[in-house]
Amino acid sequence: MALKDRAWLVSGLRVAATRAVVGASILFLFFPNALGAEAQAPEEDTSDESGEQEPEFEHDFSTYIPTAMATRIEATEAPTIDGELNDPVWAKAQAIDEFYQLDPDTGQPGSERTVVRFLYDNQNLYVGIYAYDKEPDKIVATNRSRDGNLGVDDTVRIYLDPLNTRRNSYYFEMNAAGARADALIQNNTDYIREWNTIWSGKAMIVSDGFIVEMAIPFRDLAYDPSKPDWVLEFSRNIRRKGERIRWSSISAATYFADITRSGTLTGITGIDSS
C-alpha cells in the first residue's frame, strides 16, 4: 500500500473511533441503562402522596355490638349511693372499660379512661362509674339543677331499653357536680323530658377524675321478665376537649340518643316491679 493511502486509512479510522466515542457518550447521557445490564423497571411508589395513613381501629364498627353482664346481688349487699364506690360489693361487678371516641378522633380509644359497672338486686339497678381524668382541676361542673342543661359540663349518660325495641329508651345523665337529668326517648329522637322517676345519684370529683353512682328502681321501667338482656348505651362527655366517647355505635354521625346498634346488658332476671 502506498504511503499516501496508508495515511488516509489511519486518518479515517481515527475519525470513526472519535464518532463512536461521542455517540456512546450521548447514548449513555440520555439512556444510562442502554450500555449496561438490562434496564430494570422502576420500583412502584407505594407511599401515600398525601402523607396520611388510614387509621387502624380495634373493631369493625359497622358490625361491632359489645355485651356486658349485670351482676346479681342480695338487697342486703346494696351499695350506699354516695359517690365513693368504696362498697366491697362493687368488686363483684364486671368492669366495662372499652370505650371509643365519636369525636374528635372517631374510632380511637377515649383519651381518658372510663370504667363502668352494673349490679342489681330484685328492686334496683346500680350503676358505678369512674371517669378518670389526668387533669381533674379542669373538669367542668357548673350546673346543679335537676333536668338542667348538663351538656355544658363533663357528664356521663346511660340509655336503657329493657324491651329491646332499639327505638325507645330511658335516659339518665349526671354531671361531675351531681346534677341529674332523665327523660323518655321515643324513636331514637324524641325526648319526653316531662317524664321523671325517683332515682338516686351522687357524684364526687376526686384526685384522678370523678365518680358517679346511681340507683335506678325497676318499678318505673317497662320490661319483660322473660327478657334478661337489655339494650344498653353509655356515653361520656369531656367538655374541655370537645370529646365524646361511647360504648357502641361508634360513628361521628351517630345521634347521641340513637340505640339502633347499641350494646347489650345481659343477666337481668328475677326482678320485682312492685
106 CB-near residues (< 8 Å, 6+ apart): 250, 251, 252
Range from 22-31, 123-132, 180-189, 219-228 carrying the lowest mean pLDDT? 22-31
pLDDT > 50? residue 27: no
CATH number of 67-266: 2.60.40.1190
Q: Are 139 and 236 in contact (CB under 8 A)?
A: no
pLDDT of residue 273: 75
Q: Is 233 helix (H, G, I), strand (E, B) or coil?
A: strand
Q: Name the nearest CA neighbour of 174 among 139, 213, 206.
A: 213
pLDDT of residue 140: 97
pLDDT of residue 13: 43
- Identify the residue with better confidence: 264 or 193: 264
Peptide bond into 104 cis (omega under 30): yes
Lowest-pLDDT choice from 16-25, 93-102, 226-235: 16-25
**Using CA atoms, how far apart are residues 212 and 205, in angstroms rounded to an integer?**
9
